[in-house]
Amino acid sequence: MSKDKFDYYIEGEKNKYEVIIGLEVHAQVSSNSKLFSGSATKFGAEPNSQVSLIDSAFPGMLPVINKECINQAIRTGLGLNAKINNNSVFDRKNYFYADLPQGYQISQYKNPIVGEGKVLLDMPYGSKEIGIERLHLEQDAGKSIHDMDPTSTYVDLNRSGIALMEIVSKPDLRSPDEVNAYIKKLRTIMRYLGTCDGNMQEGSLRADVNVSVRKVGDKKLGTRCEIKNVNSIKFMQMAIEYESNRQVEMLDEGKKIDQETRLFDTKKNETRSMRSKEDAHDYRYFPDPDLLPLKIEQKLIDDLKKTLPELPDNKKERFINDYGLNSYEANVLVSEKDISDYYEEVAKLSDKKLAATWMMGDLFAMLNDKGLNISNSPISAKNFAELVRSIKSGEISGRIAKEVFEIMVESGENPKKIIETKGMKQQSDPKELEKIINEILTKNKDKVDQYKSGKEKLFGFFVGQVMKQSGGKANPQLTNEILKKLLKG
Amino acid sequence: MSIDKDKIKHISKLARISIDSKKSDLLAKDLTSIFKFIEQLNELNTDKVEPLSSILNTPLRSREDKIDDGKIREKILKNSPKNNEEFFVVPKVIE
Amino acid sequence: MSEIIKKDLSEIIELIKKKEIKSEELTNLYIDKVNKSKKLNSYITTCFENAIQKAKEFDRKPNINSLLPGIPLAVKDLFCTDGFKTTAGSKMLKNFIPKYESTITENLWKEGAILLGKLNCDEYAMGSSNETSYFGNVINPIAENTVPGGSSGGSASALAANLTPATIGTDTGGSIRQPASFTGTVGLKPTYGLCSRWGIVAFASSLDQAGPMTKSVKDCSIMLEAMAGFDKKDSTSIEKKKENYSKNLKTDIKGLKIGIPKEYRVENMPKEIDELWNKGKNILKDLGADIIDISLPHTKYALPTYYIVAPAEASSNLARYDGVKYGYRSSKGNDLIEMYENTRSEGFGDEVKRRILIGTYVLSSGYYDAYYLKAQKVRQLIKKDFDENFGKVDAILTPSTPSSAFKIGEKTNDPISMYLNDIFTVPVNLAGLPAISVPAGLDKKGYPLGLQLIGKTLDEQNILNVAYAFEKNCNFKNEIKNWWL
C-alpha cells in the first residue's frame, strides 16, 4: 500500500492532532562475555549458570570493562553517523529490584560514549531523517519470573550484567509505520556491523516508547508518557495507537496529561499506568567510583572506522546506480547483510537484474517455505549464479529453469551438470522447431482449420502440444514466432 | 537545613530501610546536626572549580572479551537465604 | 617462650628462618594468649584448627625465602577469606562464608603467612571507636574501659596485646591511623590504588585502602611489601613495579623537607598534642631535616567533605545487602519491598543506617548539586592544597588524633564529636595520599599518642624512612600491662 503523502493524524472531537514519538532502544551487544565480568552471554542457558560473583554482587566484587563492548558501541555510533565522544563517564543508577543484585545499574548519565547522529528511513512518501540523541553503554538486569510460584518470584541472573547499548532517538517519529521502519533500520545497521543480532524474540532488542500528541500546527511539544519495555514492533505500534488516542481524548475533554510511565498490556491491548509512581525516578546518579573515566583515542575510532563493512544505505545506492536495480529491489536485497553478501556474489558472476529477480522470487520463496536463512541455503551463490547465466544465455528456458532449480534444491548440485545429465537444454534451433511444429499441425489439421476460421484460443493448444512433444524444452519465444508464421501460411 | 520526620520517611523509603517512629525522631535530630555541620562547605565559592572525577590520573583499563567466569551456579546460590537448585527465591512484588 | 610474642614481626621472622622456633609452636603461643584475652573482644572468629594445620604443613616443608614464612596473622573482618566467616562487624553478614579470597589476604598467604582469625571492627568500617560492631565493643589493651579507636579497632587492640604479630586493616577516613595512635602502634594507609580492593567489603570506594598495622616501622615495611601490587581485577589498581620497602629502609633523612601545616593547629587543641607535635618536629630537625611552615588552607573543610562523599558512596555500596543473594534476610514482610525494608532495618546497626540515610539524601534529586557535587569540588581544592605544597616539601608532619583514647560510651551520644576524631586523618584519604601514624609519646593519663607523616603519591618509601628515623630516636615504649588476663 503505497502512499505519496504522510497522513497519520488523529481526528479528535475538536481538533486534528499529530503524534510525536521518541524511542529508547535497548540493544544487547554481541560479545562473548559481559560488560564488566567474564561470564558468557549466550541466550537460553540453564538458569544462573552464566553468573559470576561480580554479576551477583558479592561483597568486595569490582567491575572491569570489556574492551570489545566499547568497540561495539563505537562501531554502532559510526553506523549511525554519530559523534564518538573521546571522554565518557560511567555512572551508577540506584534503585532496588530483585533482578538488580548490586542495587544499582552501571550506566552512563551525562557523558555517554556516543553523541548525536542520524538514521535515514525509506518511507513511501520519501526519505526521512530521524535524529539520534545519544548512545550509551549500560548493564542489563537479570530476569524475574513471577509465574512459577504463587507467592514467590524466581530470579535468574544470567542476563544480569550483559552489555546493552541504549540508543535514544530525538522525538522525530510521527507514526507507527515510521517506528516500524526505524526499528528495522536500526536492526539492519547493527546486524551489518555485527554489533547486535537484533533478535527481538530472544530479547536482544527492546524499546521504551515515548508518546505525546499536539494539535497540528502547534510548535510546542505536548506532555509525553513513557511506555516501558515493549518487545515487539507489533506491540509498539499497538501501544502507540492506543496511547495517542487516549491522550487526544483527554485533551479534547479539556483534561491535562500527567507525565508518567505506563505499561502496555498485551492481552487487553491498552496502556496503563504503573502503580508505584512515587520515588520511581530518583535514581541518584553519580559517577561510579569503582571505574575511572573512559578515554577513547582518536586512533581507535579511525581504526574501527576503516574496518566497518559497507552499510545498507551506501550499498543500496550502489545497487541502484551501478547495478541498475530499482529502489524496491535494492531495499529488499540490502535488508540483511547475509542477503546482500549472497547477492553480491551472484551479481559478480551473472546478470545483475535477472539475478535480483530470481533471488527475490524463487529463492526467497523456497527459503521461506523451508524456514531457512540464506546463510543455510541449499543452493550456493556460485551455483545460483550459474543458473542465472544459463537462463540469460537462453541455454534453458525460464520454465525449465524452475525445474532445474527444484533439482538443485534437493541435490545441491551444479546446474550445468543437471542440464547435461537430464538433457534439459532449450531447443532453440528454428529448423528443429519447425519440424516439430509441422508435425503437430499436420496431426491436428482439424484444429488448424478451426483456428484459421477464428478460434484464436487454440493457439495455446498448439503451444502446449509443442511443449509436450519437446519435453518442455522448446524455446517459447521461437515457438510462438514459428507457429504464428506457419499458421498464417 | 532542618531534617524532619517526613524527610526521614521519604529518604528511608528510597533506601529501603524501615524506621519506626521513635527512631525517626532521633534520626531527624541527628541528621539535622550533621547537615548543619556539612553545610560549612557553603562558605566556599566553588563556581570555578572542577569536581574531582577520580583520584587517579590514569584512564580506564579494559580487559579482553574472553569467557573466563560463570558456570558456578552452586557457589552462587549456596549463600542465599532462600533458593531452589536453579533460582534465587524472593517474596513477590505486589503490583 | 611467651616472651617471643612480645617481639617485633621482623625478629620473629628471623627466629623462624633460623629455625629457632617452629611455626606450630609459634601459632600455639598466639592461640593460647587469644584464648585468655576474650575480655578485649578483639577477635570475632578464630581459625585455630586451620592455622595449626597450615603451620604443620609449613614446618614439614618450610620456605624461608618468603616474606612472612609460617607467620600466623589475624586480619580485620572486612577481608573476605575463603571458607571462613567474614562479617564486616555486622548482623547482616554474621553467617556469611565467602567462597573466595581477597587479593590482599591472598598476597599474604602467598608469602607464607597463615590465617589465625578475623578481627573485630566497626560495622562496615563505619566508626572511630569500635563501638558500632554487632559483635560488641573492643577494649583497648592500654587501659580498662577505653576504646581502641576505629574502625580497625579489633586489629589495633589485638596487635597491641600481642594476640597477632602484625595485622592488616582498612582506612577510609583514618580507620588504620587513628586506632594505631590510640594503641601505641604503627599504622599505614597506602596511596590510593597501591593495594587492591578486590574482595574487601566495600565502604566508600574512592577512599578505602587496605594497609598494614604493626608494632614497628620495619614490620610495617615488610607487611606493605607483601600486600602491595597491581591487581587486574580492580580497575582502580595502580600498575607499578613492586618495591622492596623493607630492604630500602634507611634512617638518613638529612636535607629532607618536612612541612608543618598551620591549619592543623586547631582551636582548643589539647596542649599535650601540640607539645608532642613540637617534640616530633625537633627530633626530625636534629636528624638533619628542614622544618618548613606550610599552609593547607582548605583543611577545615575536609571533614564535612568526607561526611558527604563517604556516606554517598556507602549508601550505594550497601544497596546490595538486600537479603536476596546472601546474608541476613528478615522473616517479616509480605512482599519484596517489605522484605527489603525489614531486612535492612534489622540487619544494619544505627551508625550504618545513619550514614546510608545521609548518603541517600546528598545524592537525591534536588540535592545532588548542593551537596555531592559541591563536596567533589572541595575535594579537588583539598587535593590541590597538597599537590602545591609537595612541590616545596617531601613530607608533612601532623598529629594523628586530637586526643588519646577516650572511654567507652563517652562519645556515642554525639555523632559530630565522634566524627571529629578523624579531623587530622581524613584530608589524606580525600587526596588519595599515603600516610603513616607512628607512636610518639604518652599523655598525662599514660595513654599513647601518635604523629602522622603524610607523603606524596606513591612515596611510601620516603615516609617509611622518616618514620623509621623518628622511631629510632623517639624511644617510645608502649606500657601495656596484661590487666585482662
pLDDT digits (tens, 9 = 90+) for A254-272: 999 888 888 898 888 888 8
How many alpha carbons fall within 13 Å on the CB side of residue A6?
A: 15
Q: Are C73 and C108 in contact (CB under 8 A)?
A: yes
* Pairwise CB contact (< 8 Å): C357 & B91: no
One domain, residues A22 and A113: yes
Q: B16 to chain C nearest CA, in Å?
A: 5
CATH number for the domain that contains residue A456: 1.10.10.410
pLDDT at C33 over 70: yes
pLDDT value of residue B27:
93
Cα dihedral value B50, B53, B54, B56, nearest 10: -60
Residues of C labelled catalytic: 76, 151, 175
Position A430 scores a pLDDT of: 86
Q: How far apart are CA A243 and CA A225, in angstroms?
A: 8
Nearest residue, CB atoms, A66 vs list B65, B79, B92: B65
Cα A308 off chain centre by: 19
| Subunit contact A284:C205, Cβ cutoff 8 A | no
Total tally of structural domains belonging to chain B: 1
Give pLDDT, residue A484.
87
pLDDT digits (tens, 9 = 90+) for C365-380: 999 999 999 999 999 9
Q: Does A69 touch chain B (CB under 8 A)?
A: yes
- Among residues 149-168 of chain A, which lie with CB inside 8 Å of chain C? 153, 155
Of the pLDDT bands very low, low, confident and very high (cuts 50, 70, 90), residue B53 is confident
pLDDT band for position C389 (50/70/90)?
A: very high
Residue A452 and residue A401 in one domain:
no
Shortest CB distance from C192 goes to which of B42, B55, B90? B55
- Angle (CA) C312-C207-B54 rounded to 5° is 85
Domain-embedded: residue A211: yes
Interface test with B, best of C198, C361, C413 (most B CBs within 10 A): C361
User: Is residue B20 included in any domain, yes or no?
Assistant: yes
Check CB contact of A57 with chain B, cutoff 8 Å: no
How distant is the Cα of B48 from the closest Cα of chain A, in angstroms? 19
Spell out which residues of chain A touch residue C201, defining contact as CB-CB under 8 Å. Answer: 59-60
Round to whole Å and give the CA distance between C150 and C174.
8
What is the pLDDT of chain C when averaged over all its residues? 96
Task: List chains touching B (3+ CB pairs under 8 A).
Answer: A, C
Q: Are A295 and B66 in contact (CB < 8 Å)?
A: no
Which of B11, B14, B90 is closest, CB to CB, to C339? B90
**Is residue B69 domain-resident?**
no
The residue range of the domain holding B12 is: 5-43
Answer whether C199's CB lies under 8 Å from C79's CB: yes
Answer whether B85 touches A (CB < 8 Å).
Answer: no
Residue A79 lies in a domain: yes
Contact (CB<8Å) A66/B76? no
Q: Per-block average pLDDT, block size 10, for chain A (489 residues)? A: 79 91 97 98 96 97 98 98 97 95 97 97 93 98 92 95 98 96 95 94 92 93 90 92 94 89 88 64 94 96 96 94 92 91 94 94 93 92 93 86 91 88 82 87 88 87 88 85 83
Q: What is the pLDDT of residues A158-208, one digit of tens each?
A: 999 999 999 999 999 999 999 999 999 999 999 999 999 999 888 899 999
Answer whether A284 sits within 8 Å of C206, measured CB to CB.
no
Position C1 scores a pLDDT of: 60
B49, C381: Cβ pair inside 8 Å?
A: yes
Among chain A residues, the shortest Cα distance to C124 is held by: A59
Opening angle at CA C423, ends B5 and C383, nearest 5: 100
Closest CB to B79: pick one of C96, C333, C374: C96
Looking at the fold, whether A237 and A104 belong to one and the same domain comes out as: yes
State the Cα–Cα distance between residues C140 and C147, nearest whole angstrom.
5
Same domain, A243 and A328: no
Please report which helix (H) or strand (E) contains residue A441, including its range: helix A430-443
Contact residues on chain C for A290, CB-CB shorter than 8 A: 205, 235-236
Chosen from B66, B69, B75, B85 to mutate, greatest number of chain A CBs within 10 A: B69
Look at chain C and count its residues.
485
Q: Which of A304, A320, A351 is the last residue of a domain?
A: A304
Q: Which residue of A has its CA nearest to B56?
A: A292
Contact C353 B17 (CB under 8 A): yes
- Chain C residues within 8 A of A284 when measuring between CB atoms: 315-316, 360, 363-365, 368
Q: How many CB pairs under 8 A join A and B?
A: 132
Cell of B76: 552462587
Burial zone of C49 (CB within 10 Å; 0-12 exposed, 13-18 middle, 19+ buried): exposed
Enclosing domain of residue A236: 9-304
- For residue A459, which amino acid is it? F
Strand, coil or helix: what is A413? coil
| Count of structural domains, chain A | 3
For A290, the 3-state DSSP assignment is coil
Indicate whether A71 and A165 sit together in one domain.
yes
Contacts of A98 in chain B (CB under 8 A): 88, 90, 93
Task: Give yes or no for residue C259 having a pLDDT over 60.
Answer: yes
Chain A residues whose CB is inside 8 A of the C197 CB are 60, 62
- Residue B19: other Cβ atoms inside 10 A: 22
> Do A297 and A367 fall into the same domain?
no
> How distant is the Cα of B29 from the closest Cα of chain C, in angstroms?
11
Say if B13 falls within a structural domain: yes
Total CB pairs under 8 A between chain B and C: 160
The more confidently predicted of residues B82 and C176 is C176
Domain-ending residue, one of A374, A392, A421: A421
Residue C478 has a pLDDT of 87
Go through the domains of chain C in sequence order and give each one's CATH number. Answer: 1-485 (3.90.1300.10)
CB of A272 within 8 Å of a chain B CB? The answer is no
Q: Write down the pLDDT at residue C311.
A: 98
A319 occurs within a structural domain: yes
How much is the ipTM here? 0.96
Using the Cβ of A142 and the Cβ atoms of chain C, whether some distance falls under 8 Å is answered with no
Touching subunits for chain C (3+ Cβ pairs under 8 A)? A, B
Question: Is residue B38 domain-resident?
Answer: yes
In-domain check, residue A1: no
* A13 in any annotated domain: yes
Q: Contacts of residue C316 in chain A, CB cutoff 8 Å?
A: 92, 94, 103-104, 284, 286
For residue C385, the distance in angstroms to the closest alpha carbon of chain B comes to: 13
Is B37 inside a domain boundary? Answer: yes
Instruction: Give Cα C449 to chain centroid, integer Å.
Output: 16
Domain CATH number, residue B33? 1.10.20
Q: Which of A155, A281, A292 sits opposite C235 (nearest CB)?
A: A292
The verdict on A315 and A336 lying in the same domain is yes
pLDDT-derived band at C412, boundaries 50, 70, 90: confident
**What would the mean pLDDT of C113-139 be, rounded to a whole number?**
97
A87 touches chain B (CB under 8 A): no
Q: Mark yes or no for CB contact B14/A157 under 8 Å.
A: no
**Residue A327 belongs to a domain:** yes
Mean pLDDT, all residues of chain B: 92
Mutate to test the interface with C, among B10, B45, B56, B87 (most CBs of C within 10 A): B56
In A, which residues are within 8 Å of B88 by CB distance?
Answer: 48, 98, 154-155, 157
- The C-alpha cell that represents C82 in the structure block: 575463603
A280 touches chain C (CB under 8 A): no
For residues A351 and A238, membership in a common domain is answered with no
The maximal CA–CA distance of chain C, rounded, in angstroms, is 70
Domain-located, residue A4:
no
- Residue of A488, A480, A487 whose CA lies nearest to A397: A480
Model confidence, pTM: 0.92
Higher pLDDT, C233 or A228: C233
> Residue A489's pLDDT is what?
65
How many cross-chain Cβ pairs, A to C, lie less than 8 Å apart?
A: 95
How close C57 gets to chain A, by Cα (Å)? 29
Which of residues A277, A304, A331 is at a domain's end?
A: A304
Cis check: omega of the bond before C151, within 30 degrees of 0: yes
Burial label, C112 (beta-carbon count in 10 A; 0-12, 13-18, 19+): buried
Is residue A190 located within the same domain as residue A111? Answer: yes
Residues 6+ apart with CB under 8 A from C106: C199
Q: Is residue A238 part of a domain?
A: yes
Tell whether A145 and A94 lie within a shared domain: yes
Which of 53-92 (C) contact A at CB < 8 A? Answer: 80, 86, 88
Chain B residue numbers touching C418 (CB-CB < 8 A): none
C-alpha–C-alpha distance, residues A437 and A434, integer Å: 5
> With an 8 Å Cβ cutoff, is B81 touching chain A?
no
Instruction: Please report, for chain A, how many H helices and E strands are present, in that order.
Output: 16, 17
